[in-house]
Structure 1
Amino acid sequence: MATLHHSPFCPQSRFIRLVLSEMGMEPTLVEEKPWERRDAFLMLNPAGTTPVLVEQSGLAIPCAGIIAEYLDETRGLGLNGRRLLPETTAERVEVRRLLDWFLVKFDAEVTGYLMLEKISKRFMTSAVGGGPPDMHAIRAARTNVRYHLTYIGYLMGRRRWLSGDHLTYADLAAAAHLSCVDYLGDVPWDEDETAKDWYARVKSRPSFRTLLADRVPGMAPADHYADLDF
């Protein structure tokens, strides 16, 4: 059985948890607090970031994008019509483009700020960057999420799923990031009904159930967070 080293409100970890569930895999979950920089974890990934997937053979695969590619290479063909990275070159390019959009751009402009300032800093010591949240960073993230939501609405106005006719890595990556922001109540869903309807479809999937059960100690989620009908 594979092991996934993750952090519950790391959006990259959430993406891989969704992927594994969609693939029918149930890994052993090991929660990491990256700021603690455990020696054993650093041996798996010297960068000290989550997620890291460790196969039963001992092979350690770090980083969400690399894990996604690895899983497609090793399990994708066996999924038949449920493959999360399409088969044609053009479709694969579009999925990878959107993966970069959410795993890199969205993270840098929205989730990276909010997860650090509103969640992680609560549990970090001052020596490793803990302390009160930076409200300038939070305001920037709240502003940035609006145009990302508009872009999702734009895509969904022209497609059945974000990258085309089928659910792919792109949908799971976007939904993983939005789920973190949604926990905090910082997604302005009333500004784009098309994006909201798409997210409701994704979060209604069985793979989302464990994510919706996650809780930050001492911080309740937004009232609609686990409501499949919003």
Structure 2
Amino acid sequence: MSVVRTLHHYPLDPASRQVRLALGEKRLPFSEVIVRYWEQPPEFAALNPAGVPPVLVEVEDGKTLVVCETRAILEHLEERYPEPPLLGREPAERAEARRLAQWFDRKFDAEVGGSLLHEKLEKRLLGLGAPSLTNMRAGREALRHHLLYLEKLLQTRDWLAGRRLSLGDMAAAAHLSVIDYLGDLPWRDFPALTAWYMKLKSRPCFRPLLADRQPGLTPASHYAELDF
């Protein structure tokens, strides 16, 4: 019996984008339900009491499995669908992929996403008024520090965690791609990072992300271009 998958997500949510990239890279078909999670829909809260996306629902042989939130979903996909592996084949690469994913989900999200995404996207969705220029300036300064670190890693590595594409790359791409949608990434200052992003952006798993559009918020002119 085939597995019927449904991903409950929000297109410009970095957490949701990580799962979409992993599903695409593993070539696992799924249908989508777009969740306006800030409105706290009761049907979504019944799936995930925390009220945040993503949530993956798999139905097989009449049995339903509900897996909530990014790390749990990605670990589930690695365990159940091990090819291609997205944590690396060697212990060192697996550890580094996990470290980088945690870096983006905690440190990058707090220091960059918490400022730029909140001011330019979340405030719009929640009706919280105009963006704070002070907070956006702080977010852009923090962003440069993170980009400098990634540039240094990629000067000696093919991918962020080592020789192979991993969940570390997908975490980075998920977060950076939303910042890129908003037009806040100074790509020309980071050539190694730009080459990495172009390589990842050209993979089939990335194409659905390039088609995402937020009503009332036009993406940067280069957002969907593979060669920028």
TM-score (norm 1): 0.92
Shift of 1:171: 0.7
Residue by residue over 1:43-71, the C-alpha shift from the partner in whole angstroms, topping out at 9 and shown as x without a partner, is: 11111111111111322111111111111
**Which blocks of at least 5 consecutive residues in structure 2 are unaligned?**
none
Partner amino acid, structure 1, of 2:177:
S
User: What is residue 38 of structure 2 aligned with on the other side?
Assistant: 35
User: What is residue 12 of structure 2 aligned with on the other side?
Assistant: 9
Q: Where do residues 85-100 of structure 1 align in structure 2 (5 Å cutoff)?
A: 85-100=87-102
After the TM superposition, which segments of 4 or more aligned residues of structure 1 sit over 4 Å from their partners? Answer: none
Q: Distance in 1 between matches of 2:89 and 2:159?
A: 16
User: What is residue 198 of structure 1 aligned with on the other side?
Assistant: 196
Q: Where do residues 171-190 of structure 1 align in structure 2 (5 Å cutoff)?
A: 171-190=169-188
User: What is residue 71 of structure 1 aligned with on the other side?
Assistant: 77
Shift of 1:170: 0.7
Q: Does the 8 A contact of 1:10 with 1:115 survive in 2?
A: no
User: What is residue 159 of structure 2 aligned with on the other side?
Assistant: 161
Partner amino acid, structure 2, of 1:122:
R
Residue 18 (structure 1) aligned with residue 21 (structure 2): yes
Q: Distance in 2 between matches of 1:70 and 1:103?
A: 18
Q: Distance in 2 between matches of 1:123 and 1:166?
A: 37
Paired-residue identity, %: 48
Partner amino acid, structure 1, of 2:46:
M
Equivalences, count: 222
Higher helix proportion, which one? 1
User: What is residue 142 of structure 1 aligned with on the other side?
Assistant: 140
Residue 123 (structure 1) aligned with residue 121 (structure 2): no
SS in 1 for 2:8: strand
Q: Distance in 2 between matches of 1:5 and 1:120?
A: 19
SS in 2 for 1:24: coil
Q: Does the 8 A contact of 1:159 with 1:165 survive in 2?
A: yes
SS in 1 for 2:28: coil
Q: Distance in 1 between matches of 2:149 and 2:180?
A: 17
Aligned CA RMSD, in angstroms, stands at 1.2
State which drifts further: 52-61 or 20-29.
Answer: 52-61
Partner amino acid, structure 1, of 2:89:
E
SS in 2 for 1:59: strand
Shift of 1:221: 0.9
Q: Distance in 1 between matches of 2:38 and 2:130?
A: 16
Q: Distance in 1 between matches of 2:15 and 2:85?
A: 20
Q: Distance in 2 between matches of 1:134 and 1:40?
A: 33
TM-score (norm 2): 0.93
Shift of 1:120: 2.4
Q: Does the 8 A contact of 1:6 with 1:50 survive in 2?
A: yes
Q: Does the 8 A contact of 1:119 with 1:216 survive in 2?
A: no
Q: Distance in 2 between matches of 1:65 and 1:140?
A: 28
